[in-house]
Chains A and B, each alone.
Chain A
Amino acid sequence: MTAPRTLYDKIWDDHVVHTSEDGTCLLYIDRHLVHEVTSPQAFEGLRMAGRKVRAPEKTIAVPDHNVPTTEGRDTHIDNEESRIQVEALDKNAKDFGINYYPVSDIRQGIVHIVGPEQGWTLPGMTVVCGDSHTATHGAFGALAHGIGTSEVEHVLATQTLIQKKSMNMKVEITGKLRPGVTAKDITLSVIGATGTAGGTGYVIEYCGEAIRDLSMEGRMTVCNMAIEGGARAGLIAPDEKTFAYVTGRPHAPKGEQLDAAIAYWKTLFTDEGAHFDKVVVLKGEEIEPVVTWGTSPEDVLGISGVVPHPESFTGGKIEAARRSLDYMGLEPGTPLKDIKIDAVFIGSCTNGRIEDLRAAAEVLKGKKIAPGVRGMVVPGSGLVRAQAEAEGLAQIFLDAGFEWRLAGCSMCLAMNPDQLAPGERCAATSNRNFEGRQGRGGRTHLLSPGMAAAAAVTGYLTDVRELMAETV
């Protein structure tokens, strides 16, 4: 009889290739996702050492971070440095024989949306990518985390990663969410409660009724921001929703292999009595639609709140809050709903999937963007874009006055031409509100797709429930 194990323990145990005396492990990697920004130096390292990609069939590349989101990009990218990076990925994918979705392919999109969409991401796998939001794939009960470029090279060469095991942390969301409250509000509320370093050293397992009730896409939104809470990875145990989601996808198992896979996937849960080193419990009913007011994802408040006073914090956070408010151009005591915005960004690996676009379109239907506000919708993949067009969502966005873009990371990190001007204030469905994140001097308020749409309509940060009431 083995001791009760957590979901993380089980996936870990199934991937240990070698354990050294000091506990350092070589962990096998089932899927390696690659994009253009964090990989060129890794491929160059392989070339210089005369090494090959050990498992090209388990390696998937797609350009997403700095591709333009406007038409014509498959033939020409204006920014020379961006073009060189995308061309380098084209060449590296070809030279090393790895799976590749170029910008001209309708399946191209944000790497963390493409992986699940194409069935590369499956329960029980280890998934890595040179991108911190790899945590997204944890929604499938896959151990997924970001790595640096040296580690990208290591995985390319060896299909393994040198790792020490993290501690186990449980985040339970009990009960039901109230109307207008989404996966984004859950994940931001958790970070608000634990802080951006609250998960450092841990792998989080999200559980509880409110998590079970989420769709796969909602679960991806929750796990996506595990990294913003400092955790190495976020996990959700796979269930019937997971199996239904992966079944039929191009790279998911089929027939007898699918049956065998599901039988294995059903063993992927935390055993009764397994030990967690840290436990956080939030009540689903108490979670409000939230926004961020500062320049750290932990700066979270319910939309009915007011901008806090720096003195209400302790330690180094006092100075950080002062700096944040100065950067954000906000006065303590201002109701969040009085904050006027200039731009709205709907997209990213956090909220660029079809359900996110549906939620935003639901609020926007028959309405217009407030005068002076610029709105941009960037679907997470070419396939999401096509589906949104087929469902009539694209037309709702266009009629409301939004720009309807091609797939990519876009204004989430503003490496491509989609950027805020200094001082511009943006309601964004992305994941980071750091200084300069969406463009030098740009000010970011993180929120859910419905909240972003509501802000677009009124021109101010807005409680989406007020607009929902209008449509009932």
Chain B
Amino acid sequence: MDKFTTLTGIAAPMPLVNIDTDMIIPKQFLKTIQRSGLGKNLFDEMRFNQDGSEIADFVLNQPAYRSAEIIIAGDNFGCGSSREHAPWALLDFGIRCVISTSFADIFFNNCFKNGILPIRLSEEQVGILMEDARKGANARMTVDLAAQTVTSSDGQVFSFEVDAFKKHCLLNGLDDIGLSLEKVSSIDAFEQTAGTKRPWV
């Protein structure tokens, strides 16, 4: 997993609430057995007509936002299915950070496994950043994970909360499985005890 430290980039405004994982990556693209290559299908049905031509007014098709690395989104971003193809598609497109008032639980967790930082801010703060993002490509925001701040293009600084363990993993690009396997003796011990207490499991 790539580290996430600081990011300065273009933010795309997507004020729609309840942007679900079927919108982020429709199911016809879940048939892959790889993690890569999904960026071209990100937001497919919002981004392209049935004949494959671009829908001009969709935000990521507009010249100012084609190389966006941040999305400022409406409430409850990433609701729906557990498909990790959603963060894979965002990452493959180049999105490294999503800012919203709220995220669906599984999507939120999936982001951290893939070097994407989801940030929760208040409605007012998201509103300010949404307006900032609407200014287009010249309005670059900065996200600093170590300092836990988002800085708008005009210098307003907002602090955000992030789980300490998730932050540590993201800052260092750490593999969860390796970390958990360091606790293998605890897992062995648990299985011994549980095997006695609940032998039917």
Contact = CB atoms under 8 A, between A and B. Distances in A.
Interface residues of B, number: 56
A148 B163 contact: no
Contact of A131 (B34, B81, B114): B81
Could you say which of B106, B110, B183 has the most chain A C-beta atoms within 10 Å of its C-beta?
Answer: B106
Nearest to B36: A41
A132 B106 contact: yes
A317 interface: yes
B33 A440 contact: no
A95 B29 CA distance: 26
B26 interface: yes
Contacts of B164: 22
A28 B33 contact: no
Interface string B71-92: 0001110011111100100000
Interface in B156-192: 163-165, 176-177, 180-181, 183-184, 186-187, 190-191
Interface in A98-126: 122, 124-125
A154 B112 CA distance: 14
Interface in A118-172: 122, 124-125, 130-132, 134, 145-151, 153-154, 157-160, 162, 164
B82 A17 contact: no
Contacts of B35: 41, 149
Interface in A283-304: 296
A131 B105 CA distance: 13
Interface in B52-104: 74-76, 79-84, 87, 102-104
A381 interface: no
Interface residues of A, number: 80
Contacts of B146: none
A436 B165 contact: no
Interface string A308-332: 0000000111011001000000000
16 contacts: A26-B180, A26-B187, A28-B191, A58-B201, A122-B201, A150-B176, A151-B113, A157-B180, A197-B79, A227-B106, A230-B105, A319-B15, A422-B50, A434-B23, A434-B80, A436-B45
Closest 8 CB pairs of A and B: A253-B200, A81-B31, A150-B113, A146-B82, A148-B110, A40-B33, A148-B84, A316-B17
Interface of B: 15-18, 20, 22-23, 26-28, 30-35, 45, 50, 74-76, 79-84, 87, 102-106, 109-110, 113-114, 163-165, 176-177, 180-181, 183-184, 186-187, 190-191, 194, 197-201
Given A148-B87, A150-B113, A432-B81, 19 more contacts: A17-B187, A18-B183, A22-B165, A40-B33, A44-B33, A130-B82, A131-B82, A148-B113, A151-B113, A160-B180, A162-B176, A196-B79, A197-B76, A200-B102, A230-B105, A257-B199, A422-B50, A436-B26, A440-B45
